[in-house]
Amino acid sequence: MSKHWPPLLGIAGILLSGAAQGQAPEGLEREHLLQLLSVKRVFVDRFAGGETAAHIREMVLSSLHSAKLFVVTENPERADAFLRGSAEDLVFTESFASSEGLDARGSFGTGSTRTSDTQGRRTYASVGVGEHESTRMAERRHEASAAVRLVNKDGDVIWATTQESLGGKFRGASADVADKITRQLLADYQRARRMREGTAGADGPTQAAGREPPPGRGQRQGPGN
């Protein structure tokens, strides 16, 4: 019977290793999200991508400051984390063309025929109607995109997102991308806060269950007491 233990232990080790690998991403994501709660000051670094990237950086900086989630600092030495990445705002022309047409044709005329016995006359009429309409529109549009990451002082990436936008009805593409980045960061920050509160709530009942009851409570008194 003991000869079968090594193979069984090997199979069990493989299964446990696979389970650990499956749980690793979730634990790593949880660890990174919880690190967001320790961030107080953020420095928005320069984005790669040229002049349009600098414009989007200013939009992100303003959006983060308005959200009041972190203190946005211009001094990198005082920052707890750094927002870095790349961004671009592409300009393109969107064209639209349509064509509609209506045509009608008719004919009418006169003529005469003569033979040795009879003589006749024919009448012809011709009517033509034509209408053709074509429309061509060209609109200049923007497409902005940004891929950013939040890095702590140790150089570890604790948060990242990629956002893109064609602009809204009352907002440009760059401003919309900056707003999406801030909203995603705010949503993940709140999710990290719920994780921490859930962990604290889960530890509370466990600790309470492990406590011993105060003396004199829940104990039966013997006949001699």
Per-residue pLDDT tens for 22-58?
445 677 788 888 999 999 999 999 999 988 999 999 9
Q: 185 near 61, Cβ under 8 Å?
A: no
The end-to-end CA distance of the chain, in Å, is 57
Residue 124: pLDDT above 70?
Answer: no
- Per-residue confidence (pLDDT) for residue 169, from 0 to 100: 78
- Residues 25-95+143-197, CATH architecture: 3-Layer(aba) Sandwich (3.40)
139 secondary structure, DSSP code = E
pTM of the predicted structure, to 2 decimals: 0.61
The average pLDDT across 87-113 equals 68
- Per-residue confidence (pLDDT) for residue 81, from 0 to 100: 97
Residue 214: pLDDT above 80?
Answer: no
Residue 91: pLDDT above 70?
Answer: yes
| Least confident span in 9-13, 27-31, 77-81, 119-123 | 9-13
Q: Which residues pair with 27 in a beta bridge?
A: none
Burial class (CB in 10 A: 0-12, 13-18, 19+), 142: middle
Domain residue extents for the chain: 25-95+143-197
User: From CA 22, how far away is CA 138, in angstroms rounded?
Assistant: 51
DSSP string, 72-136: E-S-GGG-SEEEEEEEEEEEEEEEEEEEEEEEEE--EEEEEEE-SS-EEEEEEE--EEEEEEEEE
